[in-house]
């Protein structure tokens, strides 16, 4: 045995001894969290495993007979053009939606933190969009963007921007923008409240010291506010990304995935394939792929954030 192998073996035995000692030292804590761990495995782990199992079978919704097909669903999905179109449309929907909610939420939070008149009223009012059911908000926006009776077209016609009403949700080129606007309107209050809570935790002394040194408001925002809000922004955008990725109500209520599937995301397609077309196995395969995308995104996102030694 070489000297390097001896060192490696010794180091491995040392880590094993430390792990055993750690388990013995904290066995009471592990015993206490065991029920919660078992509960999570039951309510979270089992559906995931069952979805993966279902994706390996051909399972018509109108029959109890399942036929094992292995990875056939995954191979067919990866080799289809619609899969890459769905990835593009889903990525566009998530990126624009989360960016809009983050920027608007941050802007509103910064202004609500200031001692303005009617601050309590505005804080309460900004929560209203988030409290309304998504489907109701989507119906309201569908009417706002209606080509004949919608307020948006009425305002644009009044201002002379357009000569006739635009059917935003019926236009394949801009329909997704009409849906994103509704999603940003619904999701911005959550981001604003989270950012406002983070802003209130920043010591005021930092701003006072910066003001004495002659730092302008923009520099205070860049070198104090943003670094201090780093953890809050990370968690808020991570949650918003996951929620936007799996969002169904707004798109389905406003366009049903149309026109000609230009507003369909991966989640909309899963519903269409699995429940409307009755192909449960193919729908489960799409679900597993979506889950893996989200898992990979969360891991990369957190690793990039904690690279500098920061902790959540």
Give the tens place of pLDDT for each residue, 104-140.
999 999 888 877 777 777 777 777 777 888 889 999 9
pLDDT digits 0-9 by tens, 132-178: 888 899 999 999 998 888 888 888 888 888 888 888 899 999 999 99
Distance CA 312, CA 296 (A): 18
Distance CA 71, CA 105 (A): 43
Whether the CB-CB separation of 291 and 48 falls below 8 Å is answered with: yes
Distance CA 252, CA 58 (A): 26
Q: What is the pLDDT of residue 2?
A: 59
**Is 258 part of a structural domain of the chain?**
yes
**Is 185 part of a structural domain of the chain?**
yes
Count other C-beta atoms under 10 Å from residue 68's C-beta.
9
Distance CA 283, CA 271 (A): 7
Burial of 123 (0-12, 13-18, 19+ CB in 10 A): middle
**Is 18 part of a structural domain of the chain?**
no
**Is 65 part of a structural domain of the chain?**
no
**Is 16 part of a structural domain of the chain?**
no
**Is 219 part of a structural domain of the chain?**
yes
**Is 6 part of a structural domain of the chain?**
no
Helix (H) or strand (E) holding 148: none
CATH number, domain containing residue 92 = 1.10.3720.10
Q: What is the pLDDT of residue 296?
A: 92
Q: What is the pLDDT of residue 283?
A: 93
**Residue 223 belongs to domain spanning:** 71-310
Report whether pLDDT(3) > 70.
no
**Is 19 part of a structural domain of the chain?**
no
Question: How many folded domains does the chain comprise?
Answer: 1
Residue ranges in the chain assigned as alpha helix (H)? 3-25, 27-40, 46-55, 72-78, 81-113, 119-125, 128-131, 134-144, 151-159, 175-200, 204-212, 217-220, 226-228, 230-245, 249-254, 266-271, 280-305
Whether the CB-CB separation of 141 and 182 falls below 8 Å is answered with: yes
pTM as predicted: 0.83
Distance CA 110, CA 103 (A): 11
Q: What is the pLDDT of residue 311?
A: 52
């Amino acid at each position: 045995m070489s000297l390097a192998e001896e060192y490696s073996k010794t180091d491995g035995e040392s880590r094993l001894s430390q792990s055993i000692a750690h388990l013995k030292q904290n066995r009471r804590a592990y015993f206490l969290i065991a029920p919660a761990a078992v509960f999570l495995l039951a309510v979270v782990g089992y559906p995931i495993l069952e979805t993966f199992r279902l994706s390996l079978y051909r399972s018509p919704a109108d029959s109890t007979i399942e036929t094992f097909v292995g990875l056939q669903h995954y191979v067919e999905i990866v080799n289809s053009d619609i899969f890459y179109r769905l990835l593009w449309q889903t990525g566009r929907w998530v990126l624009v939606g989360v960016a809009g909610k983050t920027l608007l939420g941050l802007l509103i939070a910064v202004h609500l933190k200031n001692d303005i008149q009617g601050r309590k009223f505005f804080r309460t009012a900004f929560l209203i969009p988030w409290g309304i059911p998504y489907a109701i908000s989507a119906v309201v926006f569908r009417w706002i963007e209606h080509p004949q009776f919608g307020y948006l077209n009425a305002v644009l016609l009044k201002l002379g921007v357009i000569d006739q009403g635009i059917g935003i949700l019926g236009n394949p080129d801009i329909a997704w923008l009409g849906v994103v606007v509704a999603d940003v309107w619904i999701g911005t209050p959550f981001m604003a409240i989270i950012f406002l809570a983070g802003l209130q935790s920043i010591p005021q002394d930092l701003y006072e010291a910066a003001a004495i040194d002659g730092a302008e408001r923009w520099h205070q925002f860049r070198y104090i506010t943003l670094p201090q809000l780093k953890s809050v922004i990370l968690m808020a955008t991570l949650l918003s990304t996951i929620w936007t990725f799996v969002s169904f109500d707004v798109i389905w209520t406003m366009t049903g995935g149309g026109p000609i599937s230009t507003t369909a995301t991966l989640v909309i397609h899963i519903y269409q394939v699995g429940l409307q077309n009755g192909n449960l196995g193919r729908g489960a395969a799409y679900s597993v792929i979506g889950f893996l995308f989200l898992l990979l995104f969360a891991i990369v996102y957190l690793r990039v954030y904690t690279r500098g030694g920061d902790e959540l």
